[in-house]
A and B are shown apart, each in its own frame.
Chain A
Amino acid sequence: MRGRPLLYTSYEADQSMLNTTTKKVLLGLFLGFLVFLPFTGGAKSSGSRLFDFSIPIVGFLSSNDYLQLLATVCVFAIGALGLNLLTGVAGQVSLGHSFFMGVGAYTAVWLGAPQGPLLGMGLPIWIWLPAAGLVPAIIGVIVGPVAVRVRGLYLAIVTVGLVFIGEYVFRNWRSLTGGSQAGRSFQELDVRLWKEETPLIEISQNGDFLSTNGKGFLMLLGFLVLFTVIAKNLQRSRAGRAFQAIRDRDVAAEIMGVNEFRYKLIAFGISSFLAGVSGALLTAFLGRTIPERWDLILAVQFIAIILIGGAGTVSGTLMGAAFVVMLPRVVQNFTEWMKSAIDEGGFIATIADPIVVTSPTDGGIINTLPGVGPGLSVLQANQVLYGLLIVGFLIFEPLGLYGIWLRIRNYWKGWPFTY
């Protein structure tokens, strides 16, 4: 029976996470590449690396700032897996994801930050990370009963309210959060057994083989793989099927024996857990947070991740996280590239000229000048792009990037036939 990709001889094989050899091989290669990446590129960067050569074409990704970007993708993907479970799989629209991330982040800060003028207990990561998930999960389950009673659009508005209430609390609880705009620092991914001086695994210093960002990236990638497996498994379990039944038609699900109240609470709890872990890791990795970080814009970013990626699909969520987190960098690089093209002149310059503003008197859409001038700043251009992408994907491709991938795959599967 070997060599027939879609022939399954057991239920387990049909239901398995990687049900074809192609998937296994490609995923293995991709993960291998990601793990190998931070070890390369030693000659170019300041941090010491194991290898001096860099991988062709995508080798630029091994520089420290791109590793930081990739690590941020991992953290956002963890949070997005939670929102995907709640909104994509269980169908409960939540705009309050950033609130739960903030709660997780500040739980982690409280437990993990060293003692000082601000609240902190200096506990190791194996305590603060689970706690950063559990505290938001408990709050999620407490808020849950309100959320379970209201449905649909009312729920979306209630969760917006949570974000504003959370921001108010974060801004005013100065002994914990450092206060509005000031914030506090918390850089603590080192793994310790207890409060020893020398950690078991040291993330915060450049090592012999890896830079700080490389270590952080590998660690966060590990967490992402762990949570992806959990999320994927959950989706094909009894609970996952119950979530989908509630999403598709809640009354019908209840009649079939799904306890709606219980499963909605579970969905809220797990989603908040992942949000909290993601918020804590984001703070611990980037090293600093301000109360204004956990605002509505962040929540909308997460909605954008799951909608652009493809609501209800784990692989789509990962693609969406990569897309949304990397988009600002792409826009920035693209603008800089066009700017240099204008300086050089030629064919590209004639296209780039109306897009990029190069001098205060020049017209254009994107502004690269320091300070405020005509045209959108790169930050604003990103926001506008998020907005238009959400609208565009919902109108033209409701399945998101996953849907696009599905169409490409099916085209080549049947090629040269169209069916």
Chain B
Amino acid sequence: MTAAIPIIAQVAGGEGHFASALSEGLSLGAIYALLAMGFVIIFKATQVLNFAHGALSALGAFLVASFATLVNIPGRFLPETVPHWLGWSLSALFALIAAAAAGMLLERVFIRPMVGEELFAVAIVTLGIDIALRNVTNDFIGTDPRPLGDPWGTKVLDLGWITFAHTEIAQIVVSVVLVSAVALFFRSRTGIAMRATAFDQEAARAQGINVGRIFSISWAIGAVLAAVAGVFISVFPRRSAGVDTATAFFAFKALPAIILGGLDSVIGAIVGGFGIGIAEAFVGEFVTFPALGFGFAGIVPYLVMLLVLIVRPYGLFGTEEIRRV
């Protein structure tokens, strides 16, 4: 009973804690939603559960860091008068294009030969890609974090009762924009083709859909979403120093988000992402039993996932598998 007193004190202690947990939860949720969205896009189109997502997000963030600071493309060709944020955005754009190319290359080389194989075999292939790609990327990153040189810095917006870092606002805005763009994309011609491919690859092919191209596009989109998430993982206030060797492991925490929402549901990815993010932030802020030790908030996503799976084995919004002989 004595351990419960600090919690009550904190809940009663003021909205400061509540507000900081809320802003933290929203930004964390935005990152999880971006990651989960990438998983879902690739799963919907190609039926592949992409374990290499974490490696792709680290690679994407590393590419942004390189383009923005070390290589400085296109910054070195621009006149001095160009503002920093514009130059950085152009660098990020170039890096995202490179990330998309990397995603397409991975799909073409490793995933395409596995078409028609068992789903779990393909998932394990992506696990193999993850190990290889993560180690190569981490080797390029090295021991010191690579700063991203982002224009937001450590600036904070104070709304009185709640404070948001500029990065957090950027995270929430960018993820809402990207997620809506993807939701709209599913209504476009290519998006419909993607849904048809997800439904039945052979039938889609018979209708004249270029299934291979759909695969490429979905991996490109997935890689871009992963890269954007990787950028937001590596900025203030999460890891102010930049992209490091732990970035690649962050995506594993988005797995509960897609399970919560259901593997093949876009809405599920958003709800799951924000739900898990907010749950983690609030537990981290308010549940501070000494007995729980260090890092309890980090496993909250998995505990939530287990609880949800006991009740609904296909997630909140996932399609229930119809079992036929």
* Chain A residues at the B interface, C-beta cutoff of 8 Å: 93, 145-146, 149-154, 156-158, 160-162, 164-165, 168, 171-172, 180, 249-252, 255, 296, 300, 303-304, 307, 372, 375-377, 380, 383-384, 386-391, 394-395, 398
Contact = CB atoms under 8 A, between A and B. Distances in A.
A152 B120 contact: yes
5 contacts: A146-B306, A180-B294, A383-B131, A387-B130, A394-B117
A296 B128 contact: no
Given A161-B256, A387-B128, A168 B295 contact: yes
Contacts of B133: 387
B110 A391 contact: yes
Given A160-B252, A249-B325, A390-B131, 10 more contacts: A93-B124, A161-B255, A164-B299, A296-B252, A383-B134, A384-B132, A387-B128, A391-B128, A395-B114, A398-B121
Contact of A165 (B113, B252, B294, B303): B303
Contacts of A156: 49, 120, 123
Nearest to B258: A157
Contacts of B130: 387
Nearest to B138: A380
Given A154-B314, A165-B302, A391-B110, A146 B123 contact: no
Interface of A is mostly: helix
A171 B133 CA distance: 28
Nearest to A380: B135
B309 A154 contact: yes
Interface string B230-274: 000000000000000000000010011011000100000000000
Nearest to A374: B139
Contact of B255 (A157, A384, A391, A394): A157
Interface of B: 49, 110, 113-114, 117, 119-121, 123-125, 127-136, 138-139, 142-143, 252, 255-256, 258-259, 263, 292-296, 298-299, 301-303, 305-306, 309-310, 313-314, 321, 323-325
A327 to B, nearest CB: 13
Cβ-closest 9 pairs across A and B = A172-B293, A387-B132, A387-B131, A390-B128, A161-B302, A391-B128, A387-B128, A149-B313, A383-B135
B253 to A, nearest CB: 8
A258 to B, nearest CB: 13
A172 B294 contact: yes
Contact of B124 (A145, A154, A390): A390
Nearest to B323: A251
